Amino acid sequence: MRYAILHNGTPHFFLLSYELDSMRVQNLLCIPDFAITESALEKRNPLASTARRAGWVGCNILLDRIPSDARISIVKENYPTPPSDVRRAYKRLKPLASLKLEKRGWTLDVLNAIGTLGKTEFGLPEIYAFEQSLLKLHPKNYHVRDKIRQQLQVLRDLDILEFLGGGSYKLRT
């Protein structure tokens, strides 16, 4: 999976949950290929020496490290999302695909931190509160606050955020 991410070979993911008895779709999410970054991966233990593929190492994809904006609902709680809403949500995030992988990882991690706030307007101090968790995801970067500000500018330039002035921002919908 890491290789696929590094070589732009990540597939789109569709996550489905359904009622077993009726086979009725409860939820269907689309996660675009460009929304999966290395920071969303968790390495698993190698397979046992007795396994057919002994030593093979897989991974888990940690959904909480993928921005909620990048988890696009197609069906939510048994009800289909209007196609125009699905297309709008995808189109809003599509500019992220044009970013180089190294930059995209940081940008998505900052967007995920913004989504964790649970509100559309926020200030720099609220995002700075994620400094330690971002440092854990990117341990080789010693200027995390500078990088956060840079990524907020990237999100602004991609028209995902609006800069309100005085260190305040607003998510565009």
The rounded mean pLDDT for the chain is 93
Specify the pLDDT at position 8. Answer: 86
Decide: pTM greater than 0.75. yes
Q: How far apart are CA 83 and CA 74, in angstroms?
A: 8
Q: Answer yes or no: is pLDDT of 33 > 90.
A: yes
Specify the pLDDT at position 67. Answer: 94
Q: Answer yes or no: is pLDDT of 129 > 90.
A: yes
DSSP letter string over 73-133? Answer: EEEETTEEPPHHHHHHHHHHHGGGGGS-HHHHHHHHHHHHHHHHHTSSEEEHHHHHTTHHH
For the chain, domains (ranges, CATH) are 2-171 (1.10.10.10)
* 110 token code pair: 């900052």
